[in-house]
Each structure stands twice: as structure tokens, then as C-alpha cells.
Amino acid sequence: VPVVRSNQTLLGVVTRRDVMEKMSRSQVSALPTFSEQIGQKLSYHHDEVVITVEPFMLEKNGVLANGVLAEILNHMTQDLVVNSGRNLI
């Protein structure tokens, strides 16, 4: 697609590839990361951790995936450290 000034002089050309690259970058950046998706499923009520399990978190046999469990533990550890006001180092 040609891009022209108001006086009809050519500024440049926008290719299909330019459009597709721009669309893919903007769509990918708007999506939450895996870690963010897991973090959104964690909540705390008094002394209990509540985890909302979604189908994407499960293996084909219905068991919680190891990567999901690791990410849950990572979020819980970070939350514990932040809420305690201490540093692990």
C-alpha cells in the first residue's frame, strides 16, 4: 500500500509483512505471560491459599503439570517474602 503526502508525493510503501509484524507484536505484548496467568489464579484467604485450577494447568491425565506447580510455589514464596518484609539474601 503506498503512503502519500497530501500533495500526492510518495512517502513510502507499507507491505503486508510490515502490517503482519506490527499486528503480531501488539497482540503478543497484550497477552499475559504464563507466570502472570498462574499468579492470577492464586488468592489468599486468612491462612489458606486458594488456587483456581484451569484446564491449561493439567496434564492429559488430569494431574497438575510440574511447571505449573513450580510456578505456584514460586509465586507463593515471593508473596511470603514480600509480606514478611524480609529478604532471602
Q: Where exactly are the structural domains of the chain?
A: 1-31, 35-89
Residue 18: pLDDT over 80:
yes
Residue-level pLDDT at 66: 95
Alpha carbon 51 to its chain centroid, in Å, reads: 17
Cβ–Cβ < 8 Å for 72, 51: yes
CB of 35 closer than 8 Å to CB of 41: no
Residue range 55-66: mean pLDDT, rounded: 94
Q: What is the reported pTM?
A: 0.59
- Residue count of the chain, please give it: 89
Q: Which helix (H) or strand (E) holds 48?
A: strand 48-51
Query: How far is 12 from 49, CA to CA, in rounded Å?
Result: 56
- The answer on pLDDT for 35 being more than 70 is yes
